[in-house]
Amino acid sequence: MPMITSGCDEESKKFRASMDPALQYHYGELDIARDPAHPNHALPPIRSDHRRILDIGCGMGQSLMALQLSKHVEAWGVDCDVAAVAAGSRIVPHNVHLLAGTGEYLPFTDRSFDLVFSRVALPYMDLSRVIAEAARVLLPGGEFWAMLHPPSMLLHRIRQDIRSGRMKDLILCGYIGVNSLLLHILRRQFRIRGCCETVQTSSGMKRILAAGGLQPFSVCLAPHFIVRAYKI
């Protein structure tokens, strides 16, 4: 599969139009990851002591590619989208490795990574389970970084659904709202047909991080909802 540049010439546009919509989404995310001026752009800071890195919900590995990691850094990505992982594996650098899997059951040994991060994938997972797994695979003092979905995102979606008359999605938003409330209060989620989507709050995330063995040290709400923590 050819590399698609962020410039998107005519040949690139035709190629994208012919591919599966799910892969079109991941290539669009690659454009965002490579464009610092894009309003949705956000990447974790990489320190010199981050020698082994894990991206949970990596898609095609777009964030790992955009980070332009040193060849001395070993990076791994995990995603449940098998097609995205297969497509990304053909274009990522040699020091980036992508695996099909879930954030709730990471296929790595304890204390394997200096940095574990996730860009807007955790809101679709069992957060308490993922945080516990992230803590397990982090080295002591290792860092965790995640970009999340604030409640305002769900409220905006509900308003859009009401204006557009999208009743099915409005019902889904109701489920997300209830699930998010359970997560905030009880650190619990429930699945319906494989879905366990939530929006997150800063106070709720601090409790989930602490319960999972991570010490939060930074919560940023604007321009993106980003939490950072370290392994206790």
- pLDDT for position 18: 57
In a domain, 137, yes or no: yes
Pairwise CA distance, residues 92 & 98, whole Å: 9
Does residue 91 share a domain with residue 179?
no
20 plus 127 within the same structural domain: yes
User: In the chain, what is the straight-line distance between the N-terminal and C-terminal CA atoms, in Å?
Assistant: 42
Instruction: Provide the number of structural domains found in the chain.
Output: 2
Q: What is the pLDDT of residues 21-47, one digit of tens each?
A: 778 888 888 899 999 999 999 999 999
Same domain assignment for residues 45 and 143: yes
- Which residues on neighbouring strands pair with residue 119, listed in sequence order? 147
Determine contact, residues 117/145, Cβ cutoff 8 Å. Answer: yes
Do 18 and 70 lie in a common domain? yes
> How does DSSP classify residue 90?
T
For residue 33, the enclosing domain spans 10-147+217-231
pLDDT of residue 135: 98
In a domain, 156, yes or no: yes
Please give the structure tokens belonging to residue 56. 């949970």
Query: Do residues 15 and 72 share a domain?
Result: yes
Same domain, 21 and 95: yes
Beta bridge partners of 144: 116, 229
pTM here is 0.90
* pLDDT tens per residue across span 153-181: 999 999 999 999 999 999 999 999 999 99
Encode pLDDT of 93-104 as tens digits: 999 999 999 999
